[in-house]
Amino acid sequence: MKRILPIFLLLAIVLNGCNAIGVTTQSVPNPVVATMVPLGTPAAKFGVEIARPLIKDFTNIGQRVAGSERESQTAQYIFDVFQAIGYSPEMQPFTGTAGNTPISSSNVVALKKGVSSQEIIVGAHYDSVAGALGADDNASGVAVMLEGAKLVQSASTPYTIRFIAFGAGESDLMGSYAYLNQMSQEEFENIIAMIDLNSLIAGDIAYALSDESQQSVVRDWALEWATGNGLNLQTIREVDLTDPVSGKGFSDYAPFRDVGIPYVYFTTTNWNLGDKKGQTQVDPQYGNQGVIRHTEYDTLAYLDSTFPGRVNDHLNLFISILYNLLTQFEAPIR
């Protein structure tokens, strides 16, 4: 069945073209560039040399609130990292409103051509909420995406990959809605899957989530690969991924899910705790009654001291899955 791109998904968003916005970069660290352990090496552990230092750099920039100068600095930093690892990134500004507050932000996009021109989108939002440094939510997702981008940069991939660091994700998913809204019908039909990376290091359990049926093909591939390679990746069947307050999805998969694109939402939390809806990430004795994201506890220092080894283990797991998914997954013929 042919998918039809809705004319408007979020009326508040107005695209402003693709010129880079002005940023102040004095406090922005230099991009991390490190030598990777070759894939296939038995002792290879991904995340330690690139993703983890990136998380530290993002949190050193500070609270990356949507529309703020620090969010702009982070966008420029991500742009610079993409360039450093061999891509030709593009800054795509957009504007919108959160409540009555106007917000100007940008998506940072980098393209890796594959054997097929059909595309897989890999996305992660880079902003954080006020009052949190956002190591887990969502410096972790952007860092995993960037290390994955470096790994596949010179590899053969079945599909073209579009890496997108979404701006203003904490403000009604503005960046992902803005990106989908600017696509043509032809570009829309060319997307075969969306991979969303969000809050990957704090929670007790690593999950791959999606709706069922045709939208679950990427999730199911990831689960099978992880199980076959001794990695503990779990799912929740028939999971409800709609926020009861906003009526939208919890993360940047939502716009793509709502128009019928297969997706997988990678995250860490613990569906066995609290209201058993995935909001409680860890035992309630830790963080803010079991919640790390959106709190003062969302730092590498707290996670390392409270859950030794967890950050590195989760980074290795998700980067390993992402690399193999991007280099091996083949979508069923529609």
> What are the pLDDT digits (tens) for 253-300?
999 999 999 999 999 999 999 988 899 999 999 999 999 999 999 999
User: Quick one: average pLDDT of 115-121?
Assistant: 98
pLDDT mean across residues, the chain: 88
Per-residue DSSP letters for 153-213?
TTS--SEEEEEEEESSTTTTTHHHHHHHHT--HHHHHTEEEEEEE-S-SSSSEEEEE--SG
CA distance 95 to 16: 7
Residue 270 belongs to what domain range?
Answer: 24-328
219-223, long-range: CB < 8 A, 24+ apart:
219/263, 219/264, 221/325, 221/329, 222/264, 222/266, 222/321, 222/325
Is 322 a member of any domain?
A: yes
pTM of the model: 0.89
Higher pLDDT, 231 or 13: 231
Is 7 a member of any domain?
A: no
Is 3 a member of any domain?
A: no
pLDDT tops 60 at residue 172: yes
Is 11 a member of any domain?
A: no
Is 6 a member of any domain?
A: no
- Going by pLDDT thresholds of 50, 70 and 90, the confidence category of residue 62 is very high
User: Quick one: average pLDDT of 135-163?
Assistant: 97
Instruction: Supply the pLDDT for residue 25.
Output: 35
User: Quick one: average pLDDT of 130-134?
Assistant: 97
Q: In the numeric block, which tokens belong to residue 151?
A: 């790994």
User: Quick one: average pLDDT of 217-234?
Assistant: 96
41-55, 84-98, 155-169, 207-221: which range is least confident on average?
Answer: 41-55
Nearest Cα to 123, choosing from 145, 106, 151? 145
Q: In the numeric block, which tokens belong to residue 236?
A: 């929740």
For the CA atoms of 38, 39, 41, 46, what is the dihedral angle to 10 degrees?
90
- Going by pLDDT thresholds of 50, 70 and 90, the confidence category of residue 29 is low
Is 17 a member of any domain?
A: no
Q: What does the pLDDT look like over 174-224, one tens digit per residue? A: 999 999 999 999 999 999 999 999 999 999 999 999 999 888 999 999 999
User: Quick one: average pLDDT of 124-138?
Assistant: 97
CA distance 45 to 315: 9
CA distance 128 to 323: 26
Higher pLDDT, 158 or 331: 158
pLDDT tops 90 at residue 64: yes
Instruction: Supply the pLDDT for residue 8.
Output: 37
Q: In the numeric block, which tokens belong to residue 263?
A: 């997706």
pLDDT tops 90 at residue 135: yes
Q: How many domains does the chain have?
A: 1
Q: Do the Cβ atoms of 182 and 259 come closer than 8 Å?
A: no
Instruction: Supply the pLDDT for residue 332.
Output: 83
Orientation angle between helical segments 140-152 and 51-61, nearest 10 degrees: 140
CA distance 124 to 180: 14
Nearest Cα to 163, choosing from 139, 190, 133, 196? 196
CA distance 23 to 17: 17
Helices (H) and strands (E) in the chain, counts: 9, 8
CA distance 82 to 89: 6
- Going by pLDDT thresholds of 50, 70 and 90, the confidence category of residue 242 is confident
Orientation angle between helical segments 310-328 and 140-152, nearest 10 degrees: 40
CA distance 137 to 133: 8
Is 91 a member of any domain?
A: yes
Instruction: Supply the pLDDT for residue 40.
Output: 42
Instruction: Supply the pLDDT for residue 2.
Output: 55
What's the CATH number where 214 sits? 3.40.630.10
Place of tokens 């043509």: 184
Secondary structure letter of residue 241 according to DSSP = -
pLDDT tops 50 at residue 90: yes
6-10, 93-97, 181-185, 282-286: which range is least confident on average?
Answer: 6-10
User: Quick one: average pLDDT of 73-102?
Assistant: 95
Is 109 a member of any domain?
A: yes
pLDDT tops 90 at residue 151: yes
Instruction: Supply the pLDDT for residue 45.
Output: 80
Nearest Cα to 197, choosing from 37, 33, 319? 319
